[in-house]
Each structure stands twice: as structure tokens, then as C-alpha cells.
Structure 1
Amino acid sequence: MASKLTANGVYEGSRIILPEHREAYLVQEALQRRRGKPTLDEQEMQLIEDAIFESYQECKSITLTVFNPFDDEVLRGVVTSIDKPNRQIKLVRGEEDYSFIKIEEIINASI
């Protein structure tokens, strides 16, 4: 007779994963896929700020790439407000759809 400890016996055949352990594993795996924010030099920041200011002054549509640790977000709209003390902008994307974006989180801007 074969031992219960080997050859798909009691211990080898009773492998189960608790839902709590599965969730913790998935959270840990997602954290490992997290990326760091790229550093922009002063010239790139100046180009981003110039594009934002041009969109604000001339009411032109602008495309912004906003940093996200997992996947960058591309937003398109018109800059309607610039909050200098808090360094954020208000980007209007439709009739009632708008968002406030911190300038430090923008990694690319084009008109």
C-alpha cells in the first residue's frame, strides 16, 4: 500500500487556496507591477507649461498624458482654469465633464 504522504496522498491532494490568500496574492502582484514616475528636465516641463498656457489663452484643445503608477492616462480637452498656488489645472472634456489635474503629474502635453 502506498503512503498517504506521497503519490497524491492526503497532503498532496488537499491543496486549496483560501479566498483571503488569493486576494492578498493578487494585491501583492499588482504592487509589483507598479512603476515609478519619470523625471522630467526643466526644458520638458517648460514645454508642457507652454502648451497648457496656450490652451488656456486661445481655448485650443490639448492632449495631456497624466502619470499613473500602473498605466498612463491620456486626456483631451481645453484648459479653462490655472491654479498657480496649488499648481493644478482644470481640464474641460465636454459639457459637464471636467477634471482637476496636478501639473506635476503631467508627463506629456501636445496641442
Structure 2
Amino acid sequence: MTALRQAVAQVSPAALPAFTRELDQAADEARLGSDLGPLRRFSRQWAIYVHIHRQPHLAARFRELEDRAQRGNAAQARAAAVELGRILDEAQAALSENTRS
């Protein structure tokens, strides 16, 4: 988790409090359930976050789409959600490819 924390600190220092809070929650869930699933999900989620935020143009587009999904009309929100999903899917695929290599 140290390398992931360092990556978050590098790409988005303002996200560190959320990272720490969510890590604590995932660790508690893992302990209570005797299951590493919550920590795996946490790591994957934040690895995707770092992947997106390492690319400033992609991070800016992601933030713009999040804003449109929250503030736009229904059609704009749906279109933004579709594009957000595409970006997340591509980030997930890129990370999966990197772990296979």
C-alpha cells in the first residue's frame, strides 16, 4: 500500500485524506470478514484513480464528465455516465494488461 499511497500523493495530494479513510475502512472490513476482498477492491479502485490522474488531459476530462453527470440534464448526465464508464473500463484494461506483462 505504500507505493500506492506515494502514487496518490504524487498525482493528487488533495486525495490523500480520502485514500487514508477508505484504506482504514477496507482494512476494518477485511479484518471483520477475514477476507482480503475489501483490500483488493480498494487497491484496484485507487490504482485506476492513479492511472487516470497520471494523464492530466484525461483527469481533466474525467472531472468535467463527473460535473456534467451531476449538474446536467438527464440526457447530458446519461451521456457523461457512458463516457465515464468507458474511461474507467479502459483504465481497468490497461492495469490488467500491465499485471499480465
The normalised TM-score by structure 1 is 0.24
The normalised TM-score by structure 2 is 0.26
Structure with more strand by fraction: 1
| CA radius of gyration, larger in | 1
